[in-house]
Amino acid sequence: MSLTNTPSPDQIKRLPKALLHDHLDGGLRTETIVELAQKIGYDKLPTQDPLKLAQWFEESCNSGSLVRYLETFSHTIAVMQSKEAIVQVARECAIDLARDGVVYAEVRGAPELFTEKGLTLNEVIEATTEGYKQGMAEAAKEGRKIRVESLLCGMRQNNKSQETAAAVVKYRNQGVVGFDIAGPEDGFPPTNQLSTFEYLRKENAHFTIHAGEAYGLPSIWEAIQICGAERLGHGVRIIDDIDFSTPSPKLGALASYIRDRRIPLELCPTSNLQTGAVKTYSEHPIGKLAKLRFRVTLNTDNRLMSNTSMSNEMTQCVKSFDWKFADLQRVTVNALKSSFIPFEERLEIIENTVKPAYAAISAE
């Protein structure tokens, strides 16, 4: 069967991909940052040279500290404080993802971060979805079909999650498919926002929670068992609940529950390398978790900060874990199965786009 072949970098680039964990303010083109900064007189960029700026972002994020990693966002957020800027960034995001072979993406952002210069929460959301629409249309003209939906984030350290969650319900079926909380995990447990998650469940709204990235198993347990998260943003630290000291790995109660319930893990290997969760790509738990048949998905997190793409993440997994076409197809199908769009729409992309393309490209 051709799906047992090893894909080449060129084939990986052409494969259809699905992305569940990507931050809008973590994926700007550096040329756009410089351009927007000049327009508004923002003079705090470390350099005006787009190439050097890209290097600065990546080097700053290679510090091994999640706190310092998050600090780099001050620059991208600063240049995204107008409707025009948000539309441009969202449009370019959709185009860039499509050019990398992404056919479905849920891109997240915290609307509250872009209200410093007078925009309302609703204006931020509407500008974002307008940008995605424009980007999808431009990608289609290039012969690349992509669907981009919004996840709205509340910030753990602030107190605006309820307002954002209400917007998720308001803009449901209008380009917004779900909710998330982001920001520093340590000291800001998901249970701080419990009333917001209860509200979302009563409204039959979808949500994921950043958990198990910088903080360990208690964060994952709270996100799943108390808050009711459908997916785990990162969730990489679930590996701490698996005993590998014997020939057959033994799953703890929480790891077993997550695997048995097919709770999706939005894993972002390159990002985890940068924040110090692991030291090398080949040591990343995604390899072991995939073998143990967790509902693993592969993601970029912040394409600018990590200097990455879905093609790069797939290429690294092929190199590090000897993944074949079948493994790449599995994480792609996992992501689509775990997406927040209606079931029949997930199935349509899997059956009519993903599987035919994998069959054709792997048979070359």
DSSP secondary structure of 145-202: --EEEEEEEEETTSS-HHHHHHHHHHTBTTTEEEEEEES--TT--GGGGHHHHHHHHH
Q: How far is it, in rounded angstroms, from Cα 84 to Cα 47?
A: 23
What is the token pair recorded at 299?
């993601």
Residue 35 designated active-site: no
What is the token pair recorded at 154?
């509340």
Question: Burial code of 241-259, b = ≥16 C-beta within 10 A, e = fewer?
Answer: bbeeeeeeeebeebbebbb
Question: Whose CA is closest to 277, among 306, 245, 244, 309?
Answer: 306
If you ran DSSP here, which 8-state letter would residue 207 be given? B
Q: How far is it, in rounded angstroms, from Cα 34 to Cα 166?
A: 34
Phi first, then psi: give them for residue 165, nearest 5 degrees.
-60, -40
Q: How far is it, in rounded angstroms, from Cα 4 to Cα 323?
A: 9
| Ranges assigned E (strand) in the chain | 17-23, 102-109, 147-155, 176-182, 208-211, 231-234, 242-243, 250-251, 265-267, 296-298
Residue of 213, 222, 266, 313 marked active site: 213
Please give the order of strands across the beta sheet that includes 265-267.
Answer: 208-211, 231-234, 265-267, 296-298
The set of residues, in sequence order, having a beta carbon less than 8 Å from that of 216 and lying 6+ positions away, is 237, 240
Residue type, 169: V
Q: Tell me the CA distances in angstroms from 202 to 74, 145, 196, 222, 269, one per residue in order.
A: 34, 34, 10, 19, 34
If you ran DSSP here, which 8-state letter would residue 82 be given? S
- Residue 229 · residue 208 · CB < 8 Å: yes
Residues noted as catalytic: 213
